[in-house]
Structure formats: C-alpha cells, structure tokens
C-alpha cells in the first residue's frame, strides 16, 4: 500500500471516528434501561433496554399513526416538489422564456426567508380558510417550502446538460411535453433523486409547522408526537426520549443508506 | 438517432404510459389519504375540548372529565401542544376565530390580563361568585384572575414554590428540614463538605431564572416584593440588592449547580444524591413519582426560611387558569363544565392525579408532603404571593428573565443586572399604562 | 477549459460533432417565431411552482414587510422606520448581528471543506462506504435526537468535560454553552457535524458526473494527483460547489433550530442570531413589529449575499 493511500485511509478513519462520537453517545444512552439512568450520560453500554425504551416511547407518544402521517407528508411533498421544480427548471433553462433571471429569483427567493416569518400569516390565513388542522394544508406548506431549493438544484443540474439532444428532438417535431418526459427526465434522474432525498429528510424532521398548523392526534407528524416526550413538563428520562428519537430516525436513515448506494454505484473515477 | 434508438423509442411510450398510470394511481391513493381532516378541532357532542401545553396532564384531564360528566353531562377532551411558545401563539391567534377550543389553559395574573385585553374571553363573574359563596375558592385571590374588575379565569390548581430534598441523604448527614436561615446555611455547608451541590439553580428553558430571584426577594421582604412587582418599588432598592448579593454569594461559594443544569434531571439528581435541595413548584411531585421517589420516605419539601426571623412569612403561589373563549364551538358545554370544575368530587380526582394541591381550599391533597405544606401555610398565615412570571406585564417579565439568565451565567454583576431590570421596568410599565388608556 | 462540457459525447466518425457552443448568450430554442404558444407552454410548466411559492412564501413575506412599519403598542400605529432603529439602540441586536456573521463564515467554510475532502478521499471500497456512512448519518437524525445528544456533550457536567477531566485536562473544562463567543462557536461545530453529510452527498453527485476521460487525459499529460484535483476535478465541480455554497450561505444566515434547542438564544440573549432574535421578538417579547423589521433586514442581507455570490455564476452560464 502506498504512503498516499495509507495517509488517505488514516485521515478518513480519524474523521469518521470523530463524527461517530455523538452518534455513539446517542445509541449508548438509548440502550440504558430507563429506571437505571443515573442522571449523567453513559459512555459504555451496560444493559440492553433499547426495545423497552422504544416501546415506552411508542406508547407514551402514540407514534404509530404519527409515523404514517409523516410518511404521507414527506413522500407527497418531496415528490411534488421534485416534479414541480423539475418542470420549472426545465422551463426556465430550456424553453423559450423571456427574463429567465427574474423567474429564477422569484422562485429561489422563497428559500431566503427565515421559516418563522411564515408562521403567523400562514396560520391566520389557514384559520380563516379552514385549512387549519388538515393534512392537505400541511402538505401544501411543505411542498411550497421545498420547491425553491429543489428548483435551485434542478436548474443548476439542467444548465450542465447539452442542448443538442433537445434541439434535435424539437427539430424532429417532438412536443415540449414529450421532450421533457423522454429526454430530460432520464438525464436529470440523479439530481431528482438527490432532491427527493433532501426534501424527504427536511419534511420528515420538521417540527415547527407540525405543531402549529395541526393539533389533532390523528394527523400529527411524528416529530410533533415525539416532542410530547421532551416538553418542559415531561417526566420521562433521556433514555426513552433518545430511543424514541432513534426510532423515528430509522426511515430517514434507511433512505440515506439506499440513496448512498445509488449515488456511489456509478462512481467511476480511478485513483 | 441510430436505428436501435428508434425502435426502443417506439416501445418506450407504452412502458411510459404504464408507469405514468401506476404513478397516477399511487398519487391518487396518497392524496385521498391526505384529505383527512383533524378530528380534534371539530365540535364533538358530549365533550368540551381543552387547549393545553402539557401533554403529561392529559390523563388527569380525562379522569377529571369523567367526574364532570356525572355532574354536567360533558367530559373533557385535551388537545395538547408540546411547545409552550407555539401553544401561546396558537391560542392567541385562534381566540378570535371559531377554531378556538372550548376551554383554554392559561397563566393567571398579567398573562391573563393581556389575553383578556385582546377581547374574546367570556366573563366568568357569575361562576366565581357561585364558587366564593360555597367557599370553594379563595376570595382574596380574585384579582389574579380578573382584568379591570371582570373575572376571566377559574383557577386550575394551586402550587407552591418549595425546596425538595432527599430524606435518606439528609438523614445520613444528620440534617433535617431547616426552619431558619442559619439552619439552611448549615445544611448547605454540610452538603458542600460532602461533595453534594447544595442547591439546584437553572436557566434552561428561560423562565426558571426567576425562581431564585422571587424566592430570595420575597424571603428578604415579602411586602417589598408585592410593591416591586406592582411597579411601585425599584429594582435598585435595598431589599432587592440584598437578595441579589445573597444569590451571588451562593454562586461564588459553589453552592449552586451550573446554570445549564436541566431541571428535568432534578428528581434523578436528588435520588442519586448529587444535588441536595431542588427549588421548584409542588407540581413537580408528579415528576418525583415518575422517578420512583415516594413522598415522605424518599423526599420531603419545605418553604425557604426568611432571611431574618422577624420578617413576615410568605409563600410564592402559582395557579394556572381555565378560560372560556367567547367563540368556542360548544360554549354552553364549556360554561357548564367550568361552573363545576372546582366541585370537590372533581378536584379530588384532579388533585390525586397531580399529587399537588387543589385551588379548592376544602380539598386536602393526598400527597402527604403537600398536605403538610398546606397545613404549614395555614398555620403560619403565610402571605400568598403571585409568581414573578405572572406578576407584571409579559414583555417586562420576559426581558427581566433574560437579564437574570445572563446574571446566572456570570455575564453581569448584581448591581448591573438590577439596574437593567429597573430601566426596563420603567419603560414597560409606561407602555402598559399607555395601552390601558 | 471550454471543451470540458461539450466533450461529453466524444466525437465519432458517424455522428456529427457537437454544435459549437455560444458561451456568451443562450438563445431560447425556437426563437420567437413560435411566440405566444411557446411562451404559454413555458408558462404552464412554471406556473405550479411559481404559484405555490408566491402564495405560501412570498405573500406572507410581503405582509411581514408591511407589518414592520407599524408599532407594537395595542393600537399599532404607523411608525415609519422606528422598528428599524432598534438595530442601533438594542445591544442584543448588535450581538445578534455578530453571531450571524460568525454563523455564516462557519456554515459556509466548514461543511464545504470537510464535505469535499471526505467525498474525494472515499471511493467505492467497503471501508470508504463505512466512513462515508458515519459522516452522512447525522444528517438523517431528528432534531430532538441531535439536541439531546449535544446537550449531553456540552453542558457543564456533560460528556466533553467528563472526558477532559479523565484525561487530566481538567483546566480546560468550562461551561461550553454559557460564555460568549465560545457558545456560538461550539454550536457552529455542532451544526457542521450535521451539515457536512449534505455536502458529501452533493459532492458525490458532482464527482459522479465528471467523465473519467478527462482525468485519463490529464494523467497522460503527466499531471500528478494534486494537479489533477486542482485543474481537472475542481473546475468541473463548480456547478455543485455553487449549490453547496449557496445553500450553506442561506442556512448559515437563517440558523435557528440548533440554537433554539440548545440555548434558546441565551443565556442573556448572547447566542442569538438574527433568525432567533426575530423569533424572540415576535413570539416571546410579543413585539411583532420589531420582529418583522428584523426579518426584513435578515432577508435583505441574505438576498444581497446570495445575489452577490450567484450573480457571477449566473453570468458565466450566460443567463
């Protein structure tokens, strides 16, 4: 093994270990049985109480329906955002649109605003239009929030694609719709998947809109349900909270794991 | 385009059509699922909904609701929001709309006044009078629940600020609950010598920073405390300065936990013996039980002794309230329930759940530690004082709490902190009076 | 290297060569002869996205701008720029601006450098996959888990101080979350812990689209590994770098979640950034006018920073 490779592997190992420390603490303290928690963080696993803690968290916070709700919100919003942003990126880059920069800034500026700004006005409009405490209301907000960044990524990716294929297809007489679905989408597939993964994680982990825009147990997203365990008045210890947090992070972890394999599968760079 | 490309393109539309059909079906299924509405915010006959910010009390509300149903025919349906700030926003924003719940849990004092000022709360004067006539509520506390003379809230519970301590730890060190300031200092010294942090002090979450402030000021001079929170005394006056110097002294001697010590760890810390005395409200008893501590055998509680023996005895009390929005969907049901909330049969169940004391003075707490405190307060004729959080205009309290948090972290000296608090008090009282005009 | 993008399809004998690319100005396809119908179609493609963003994001912001010109007393009188003068008078807001600048620098530099390093150091071997997983994992964890864990580590009797004491470095223990600027700096580190994962994934996507022929050509020309990196890989990563930096810039300026769960902007409002101050003023101090003014100032800063950074990139692309 060359010196370069050894150096590379060592640096990588050190970085990976450093990154692992907080995650390690998280897992170890979720393993501690709730009743034997001493009040200060544990470093080494002793007993195995993970499943007990998880089922406690599940029962106390009623995570079952919440997980289903979050799945609906995350999938629908992420897919809708990826598709709509894909359309918009295609339109502003490939199709004949005057003043493309203006449209870029109109959509991209949505990501520049702090989210808390939207809370009050959106809540008031929702309360008046009876979108408050509905699933469709939450989906609309999540999609709207996800679109600007998705658009940014899709547009940047689209800019790197060659125009010639599209030009040739248009000369052949294909409609824009056809061009989009048969030529553009296959080319931008990896960007769309990246966008889907990011927006899924963002919507899945959202707390603020989940506790403000809905209040009923049956449509609450999972982070809002989990927050019940962590409030100012909660009397469950950290092990149960951490076990619950691990439990609700499993879908995003799985998604990341499989997405990673997709991203890396075609990595051809030879070193 | 090559020849192979053309044939594959012919096959593609069919495959694409099938894919699109599948995707459309999936999307339709998801959207149909997504058309669900929340079940909780619509009116449900036979129940009244309660907005609250503490999900751990849901079972208590339901149990109390079962008792209420026997009297009024309506039970209670709690809708809890896990974040206090979000909860306050939601309640304030829904108060004027038809989306508000039937009953709203809120804080008393100026917090209630600010909510009432915006309009949208029902006058509960008749309900209060009914309770006062039966002796089910303390008549002298009426002002804490009213705004401009009209009652807008009925007390939910009544908690006192006390110091919890671990009975086995104290016994092992030969200590007992201190009855005087000297005894308190003695306890702290013994604990410190045995490597136990004497007092738990925290500013995690923001509002806990007021706990030691209100205790030390009120145990230095309770009448000064009353004048201070009413805006009639200055934060830079002598009693306040003495209280802050005491606090500063405790911190310097290492008698207090670092300010980033989360109070949620309090019961566990008492149990482990890492902290000696835990200043908190008696509603913490439920948390003690959850940590496996039995009242009397594992933990006890006492009220902070006065700094000088001659000072009048007082106790800081906290009461949440129930208020009824005027636009509540089941308004009559809500009024019926609130008129029977302090009924002893309901309060028995409620107080047992909370392991705390009820706002109805005829209902004794079932928690022996809290019951002993109730007797102590009655016997010593302790002056009840409003908790600092509710005692002044909310903007003033919020800003002063930030300053106290900075003081606890060592950012400012006692004198500077008090001066800042006084400057803010001057501005905020002027703003409040201006808004009242 | 102007041929870097057009060399995607190596010139073959049968197919034509790629049409010469105009690097200055992109002409819209079809010219203006399809006019209205073409533009309507384009409008139809853009409409859903634009509508959603305008309704849910831009309209509330316009309402916020409007609100910032009104006072916070009960009658909310029109007060011109009074809310904006708070920036001069309130020391908490000056501290807030300092913190926001620290956050911007931290969240742009750290995840970019670390993300790029990790993406490039790894390949498709098992070991690399594992290392990459360790770095990317934190991004997938929920905010509550991250908050609890970093609280564990950073409180005065938390894990970091425990380790320091056990290693004999007891003098280095301190209240990590209690004193400024230390508390802002450790929170920036905690944020980098999570955000680097995103950068790694984005750089992976970018690395994936670099044609290996360019690297082979460079190797044939005698370029070493480092030179290959600097002159071949890095320029082709520019589109992804734009995304990573643009995203980090915006996230740094808007940083809220981690700060709120670890310190609530305290103690004594010392760790607030502009987004936290906005939240504090609007929802805790109950001064929505002041909060709206802070939101407007923050947005102007973010807009200006993004425009300054992206404008150069957009120009190169010919928009």
Given CB atoms, is B86 within the 8 Å cutoff of chain A? yes
In sign, the C-alpha dihedral spanning C35, C38, C41, C43 is negative
Chain B neighbours among A 82-121 (CB < 8 Å)? Answer: 119-120
Separation of CA C216 from chain center? 33
Tell me what the mean pLDDT of segment B423-435 comes to: 93
Complete edge-to-edge strand list for the sheet that includes strand B320-323: B75-80, B47-52, B103-107, B320-323, B154-155
The architecture (CATH level 2) of C89-317 comes to Orthogonal Bundle (1.10)
The answer as to whether A148 is a domain residue is yes
| Least confident piece of the model among B77-86, B105-114, B209-218 | B77-86
Question: Is residue A124 a part of any domain in this protein?
Answer: yes
User: Do the chains contact at A215 and B79, CB–CB below 8 Å?
Assistant: yes
Assembly ipTM: 0.84
- Taking CB atoms and an 8 Å limit, are B407 and C156 in contact across chains? no
- Domain boundaries defined on chain B: 47-157+319-361, 159-317+387-436
Q: Would you state the pLDDT for residue A118?
A: 86
In this structure, of A122-136, B344-358, B395-409, the range with the lowest mean pLDDT score is A122-136
- In the prediction, which pLDDT does A97 show? 79
Q: What percent of chain B has pLDDT over 90?
A: 68
**Nearest chain B Cα to C285, which residue?**
B395
Task: For chain C, say whether A24 makes contact (Cβ under 8 Å).
Answer: no
Q: C-alpha C214: how far from its chain's center?
A: 30
Is residue B422 predicted with pLDDT exceeding 90?
A: yes
Phi-psi region of B392 (alpha: psi -120 to 50; beta: other; left: phi over 0): beta
On whether the CB atoms of residues C179 and B405 are closer than 8 A, the answer is no
The token pair at B131 is 């309770």
Question: Does A32 contact chain C (CB < 8 Å)?
Answer: no
Instruction: Indicate yes or no: CB of C306 within 8 angstroms of CB of A84.
Output: no
Q: Is A88 domain-assigned? A: yes
Whether the pLDDT of residue A34 is over 50: the answer is: yes
Q: What is the model's pLDDT at position C168?
A: 86
Whether A182 shows a pLDDT value over 80: the answer reads yes
d(CA B340, CA B64): 11
Provide the token pair at B114.
């600010």
Contacts of A123 in chain B (CB under 8 A): 89-90, 93
> Domains of chain C: which residue ranges?
89-317
Q: Among B2, B5, B9, B37, which would you mutate to test the A interface (most chain A Cβ atoms within 10 Å of its Cβ)?
A: B37
Exposed e or buried b per residue across B122-140, where buried means at least 16 C-beta atoms within 10 angstroms of its C-beta: bebeebbeebeeeebbbee
pLDDT at A266: 42
User: Which of C8, C46, C60 has the CB atom closest to A91's CB atom?
Assistant: C46
Q: Is the Cβ pair B258, C157 closer than 8 Å?
A: yes
- Please report whether residue A5 resides in a domain: no
Residue C275 and residue C254: Cα distance in Å, rounded?
A: 6
CA nearest B57: which of C100, A130, A228?
A228
Specify the range with the lowest mean pLDDT, choosing from B3-7, B32-36, B131-135, B203-207.
B3-7
Most confident of A257-271, B129-143, C250-264: B129-143
Determine, for residues C29 and A103 on separate chains, whether the beta-carbon distance falls below 8 Å: no
Taking one residue from A and the other from C, the number of pairs with CB-CB distance under 8 angstroms is 308
Phi, psi at residue B386, to the nearest 5°? -75, 140
Position A269 confidence tier, pLDDT thresholds 50, 70, 90:
very low
CB-nearest to A269 from C114, C143, C210 is C210
DSSP states of B122-183: ---HHHHHHHHHHT-S-GGGGGGGEETTEE--EE--BEEEEEEEEHHHHHHTT----SSHHH
Please name the residue that has the structure tokens 């997980």: A67
pTM of the predicted structure, to 2 decimals = 0.85
Subunits adjacent to chain B (3 or more Cβ pairs under 8 Å): A, C
Q: Which helix (H) or strand (E) holds B322?
A: strand B320-323
Answer whether A136 sits within 8 Å of B9, measured CB to CB: no
Q: Cβ separation of B88 and C270 shorter than 8 Å? A: no
Q: Which of A222, A232, A244, A245 to mutate to test the interface with B (most CBs of B within 10 A)?
A: A232
- A8 pLDDT band, cuts 50/70/90, is confident
Of residues B365 and A116, more confidence is placed in B365
* Confidence (pLDDT) at A261: 65
Section A159-180 average pLDDT:
84
- DSSP string across C48-85: HHHHHHIIIIIHHHHHHHHHTTB-SSTT--B-TTGGGG
Give the per-residue SS3 of C1-35.
Answer: CCCCCHHHCCCCCCCCCCCCCCCCCCCCCCCCCCH
Here the CATH number for the domain that contains residue A151 is 1.10.3720.10
- Which class for C75: exposed (0-12), middle (13-18), buried (19 or more C-beta within 10 A)? exposed
Q: List the 95-134 stretch of B: residues with Cβ below 8 A of A.
A: 97, 99
Per-residue confidence (pLDDT) for residue B424, from 0 to 100:
95
| Cα separation of the two ends of chain C | 19
**Could you write out the DSSP letters of every residue in B29-51?**
HHHHHTT-B-SSSS--TTEEEEE
d(CA A250, CA A252): 6
DSSP state of C280: I
pLDDT classification of A267: cutoffs 50, 70, 90: very low
Q: What is the mean pLDDT of residues A208-237?
A: 82
Task: Return the CATH number of B159-317+387-436, one of 3.40.50.2020, 3.40.50.720, 3.10.330.20, 3.40.190.10.
Answer: 3.40.190.10
> In this predicted structure, what is the pLDDT of residue B35?
65
- DSSP class per residue in B272-312: HTSEEEEEEEGGGHHHHHHTTPPBTTTEEEEPPPPSSTTSP
Q: Which residue has the tokens 């999936």?
A: B26
Please say if the pLDDT value at position B54 is more than 60. yes
Q: Which residues contact B312 (CB under 8 A, 6 or more apart)?
A: B222, B223, B306, B383
> C73–B395: do the CB atoms touch at under 8 Å?
no
Structure tokens at B91: 């309640």
- Stretch B13-20: mean pLDDT, rounded? 63
Q: Which residues of C are less than 8 Å from A147 in CB distance? A: 49, 52-53
Residue numbers of chain C with a pLDDT score lower than 50: 1-27, 30-31, 316-319
| Among B39, B84, B291, beta carbon nearest to A216 | B39
Nearest CA in chain C to B432: C73
Chains with 3+ CB–CB pairs under 8 A to A are B, C
Domain assignment of residue A165, yes or no: yes
What kind of fold does domain B47-157+319-361 have according to CATH? D-Maltodextrin-Binding Protein; domain 2 (3.40.190)
Q: Chain C neighbours among A 207-246 (CB < 8 Å)? A: 207, 223, 226-227, 230, 238, 241-242, 245-246
pLDDT level of residue B200 (50, 70, 90 thresholds): very high
pLDDT at position C307 is 81
Q: Which residues of B touch A72 (CB under 8 A)?
A: 30, 33-34
Looking at the domain assignment, is residue A261 inside a domain? Answer: no
Q: Show Cβ contacts of residue A163 under 8 Å, excluding neighbours closer than 6 positions.
A: A94, C19, C29
**Using CB atoms, which residue from A25, A105, A167 is nearest to C152?**
A25
Residue A220 lies in a domain: yes
Number of domains within chain A: 1
Beta bridge partners of B256: B199
Q: What is the DSSP letter of C268?
A: T
**Residue of A81, A80, A104, A82 whose CA lies nearest to A91:** A104
Q: Does the pLDDT value for residue B304 go beyond 90?
A: yes
Residues of C with CB under 8 A from a CB of B: 73-75, 151, 154-157, 175, 177-179, 264, 266-270, 283-287
Q: Where does the pLDDT of residue A232 fall: very low under 50, low under 70, confident under 90, or very high at 90 and above?
A: low
For B215, half-sphere exposure in the C-beta direction (CA atoms, 13 angstrom radius) is 22
Per-residue pLDDT, averaged over B159-178, amounts to 94
Distance from CA of C284 to the nearest CA of B (A): 7
- Measured CA to CA, the distance from residue B362 to residue B348 in angstroms comes to 10
What average pLDDT does the segment B117-126 reach? 91
- Quote the pLDDT of residue C17: 40
**A167: pLDDT strictly greater than 60:** yes
Average pLDDT, chain B: 89
Neighboring chain B residues of A124 at a CB cutoff of 8 Å: 93
Best CA proximity match to A112, nearest among B425, C194, C295, B409: C295
pLDDT at residue C15, rounded to an integer? 35
**pLDDT at B1 > cutoff 50:** no
Under 8 Å between Cβ of A163 and C8: no
pLDDT of B238 above 60: yes
Residue A32 neighbours by CB under 8 Å, 6+ apart:
A42, A45, A46, A47, A49, A53, A239
Q: State how far the Cα of B197 lies from the Cα of B188, in Å rounded to an integer.
A: 8
| C53 CA: distance to closest CA in chain A (Å) | 5
Q: State the nearest Cα–Cα gap between B328 and chain A, in angstroms.
A: 14
Look up the domain containing A192 and give its range. 62-228
Please report the pLDDT score of residue B28 as a whole number. Answer: 66
| Distance of alpha carbon B280 from alpha carbon B164, whole angstroms | 7
Confidence check: pLDDT of B286 > 90: no
- Report d(CA B421, CA B405) in Å as an integer: 12
- Please tell me the distance from the alpha carbon of residue B326 to that of residue B329, in angstroms, as a whole number: 9
Mutation for testing the B interface, residue in C284, C289, C290 having most B CBs under 10 Å? C284
Query: Which residues in chain C are closer than 8 Å to A223, comparing Cβ atoms?
Result: 142-144
């Amino acid at each position: 093994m060359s010196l370069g490779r050894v150096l590379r592997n060592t640096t990588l190992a050190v970085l990976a270990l450093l990154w692992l420390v907080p995650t390690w603490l998280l897992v170890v303290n979720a393993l501690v049985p709730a009743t034997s928690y001493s009040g200060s963080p544990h470093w080494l696993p002793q007993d195995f109480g993970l499943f007990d803690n998880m089922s406690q968290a599940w029962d106390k916070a009623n995570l079952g329906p919440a997980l289903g709700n979050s799945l609906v919100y995350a999938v629908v919003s992420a897919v809708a955002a990826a598709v709509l942003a894909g359309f918009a990126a295609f339109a502003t880059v490939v199709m004949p649109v005057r003043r493309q920069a203006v449209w870029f800034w109109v959509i991209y500026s949505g990501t520049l605003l702090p989210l808390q700004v939207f809370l009050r006005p959106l809540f008031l409009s929702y309360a008046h239009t009876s979108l408050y405490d509905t699933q469709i209301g939450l989906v609309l907000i999540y999609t709207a929030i996800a679109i600007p960044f998705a658009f940014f990524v899709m547009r940047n990716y689209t800019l790197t694609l060659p125009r010639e294929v599209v030009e040739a297809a248009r000369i052949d007489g294909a409609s824009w719709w056809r061009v989009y679905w048969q030529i553009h989408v296959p080319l931008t597939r990896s960007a769309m998947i990246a966008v889907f993964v990011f927006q899924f994680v963002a919507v899945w982990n959202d707390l603020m809109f989940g506790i403000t825009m809905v209040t009923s147990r049956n449509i609450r997203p999972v982070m809002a349900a989990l927050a019940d365990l962590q409030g100012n008045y909660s009397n469950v210890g950290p092990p149960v909270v951490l076990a619950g947090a691990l439990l609700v992070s499993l879908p995003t972890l799985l998604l990341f794991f499989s997405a990673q394999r997709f991203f890396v599968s075609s990595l051809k760079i030879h070193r | 385009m090559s020849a192979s490309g053309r044939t594959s393109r012919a096959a593609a539309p069919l495959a694409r059509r099938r894919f699109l059909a599948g995707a459309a079906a999936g999307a339709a299924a998801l959207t149909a699922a997504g058309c669900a509405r929340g079940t909780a915010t619509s009116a449900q006959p036979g129940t009244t909904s309660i907005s609250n910010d503490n999900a751990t009390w849901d079972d208590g509300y339901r149990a109390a609701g079962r008792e209420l149903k026997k009297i009024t025919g309506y039970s209670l349906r709690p809708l809890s929001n896990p974040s206090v700030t979000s909860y306050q926003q939601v309640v304030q924003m829904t108060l004027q709309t038809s989306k508000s719940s039937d009953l709203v849990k809120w804080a008393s004092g100026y917090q209630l006044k600010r909510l009432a000022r915006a309009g949208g709360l029902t006058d509960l004067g008749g309900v209060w009078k009914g309770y006062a006539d039966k002796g089910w509520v303390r008549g002298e506390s009426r002002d804490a629940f009213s705004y401009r003379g009209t009652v807008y809230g009925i007390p939910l519970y009544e908690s006192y600020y006390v110091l919890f301590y671990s009975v086995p730890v104290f016994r092992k060190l030969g200590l007992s609950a201190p009855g005087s300031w000297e005894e308190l200092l003695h306890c702290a010294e013994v604990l410190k010598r045995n490597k136990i942090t004497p007092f738990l002090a925290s500013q995690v979450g923001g509002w806990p920073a007021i706990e030691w402030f209100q205790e030390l000021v009120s145990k230095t001079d309770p009448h000064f405390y009353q004048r201070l929170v009413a805006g009639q005394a200055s934060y830079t006056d002598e009693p306040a300065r003495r209280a802050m110097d005491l606090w500063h002294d405790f911190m310097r001697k290492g008698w207090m936990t670092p300010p980033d010590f989360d109070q949620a760890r309090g019961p566990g810390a008492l149990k482990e013996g890492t902290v000696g005395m835990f200043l908190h409200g008696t509603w913490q008893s439920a948390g003690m039980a959850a940590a496996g501590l039995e009242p009397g055998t594992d933990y006890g509680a006492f009220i902070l002794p006065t700094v000088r023996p001659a000072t009048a005895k007082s106790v800081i009390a906290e009461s949440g309230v129930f208020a009824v929005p005027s636009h509540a969907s089941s308004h009559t049901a809500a009024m019926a329930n609130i008129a029977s909330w302090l009924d002893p049969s309901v309060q028995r169940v409620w107080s047992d759940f909370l392991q705390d004391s009820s706002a109805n003075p005829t209902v004794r707490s079932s928690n022996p530690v809290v019951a002993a405190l109730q007797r102590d307060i009655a016997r010593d004729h302790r002056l009840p004082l409003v908790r600092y959080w509710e005692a002044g205009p909310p903007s003033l309290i919020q800003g002063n709490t930030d300053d106290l948090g900075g003081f606890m972290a060592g950012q400012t000296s006692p004198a500077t902190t008090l001066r800042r608090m006084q400057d803010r008090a001057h501005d905020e009282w002027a703003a409040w009076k201006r808004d009242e005009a | 290297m102007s041929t870097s993008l057009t060399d995607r399809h190596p010139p073959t004998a049968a197919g034509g060569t790629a049409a010469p690319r105009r690097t200055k100005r992109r002409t819209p396809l079809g010219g203006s002869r399809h006019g209205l119908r073409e533009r309507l179609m384009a409008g139809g493609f853009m409409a859903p996205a634009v509508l959603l963003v305008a309704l849910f994001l831009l309209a509330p912001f316009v309402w916020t701008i409007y609100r910032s010109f009104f006072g916070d007393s009960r009658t909310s009188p029109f007060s011109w720029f009074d809310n904006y003068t708070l920036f001069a008078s309130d020391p908490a807001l000056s501290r807030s601006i300092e913190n926001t600048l620290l956050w911007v620098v931290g969240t742009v530099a750290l995840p970019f450098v670390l993300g790029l390093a990790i993406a490039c150091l790894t390949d498709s071997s098992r070991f690399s996959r594992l290392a990459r997983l360790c770095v990317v994992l934190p991004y997938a964890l929920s905010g509550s888990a991250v908050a609890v864990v970093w609280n564990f580590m950073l409180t005065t009797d938390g894990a970091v101080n425990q380790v320091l004491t056990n290693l004999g470095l007891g003098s280095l223990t301190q209240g990590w979350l209690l004193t400024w600027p230390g508390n802002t700096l450790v929170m920036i580190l905690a944020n980098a812990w999570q955000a680097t994962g995103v950068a790694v994934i984005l750089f992976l996507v970018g690395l994936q689209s670099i044609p290996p022929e360019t690297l082979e050509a460079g190797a044939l020309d005698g370029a070493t590994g480092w030179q290959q990196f600097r002159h071949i890989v890095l320029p082709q990563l520019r589109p992804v770098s734009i995304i990573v930096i643009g995203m980090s810039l915006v996230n740094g300026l808007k940083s809220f979640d981690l700060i709120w769960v670890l310190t609530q902007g305290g103690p004594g409002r010392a760790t607030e950034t502009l987004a936290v101050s906005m939240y504090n003023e609007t929802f805790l101090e109950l001064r929505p006018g002041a909060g709206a003014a802070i939101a407007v100032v923050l947005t102007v800063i973010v807009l200006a920073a993004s425009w300054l950074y992206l404008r150069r990139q957009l120009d190169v692309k010919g928009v």
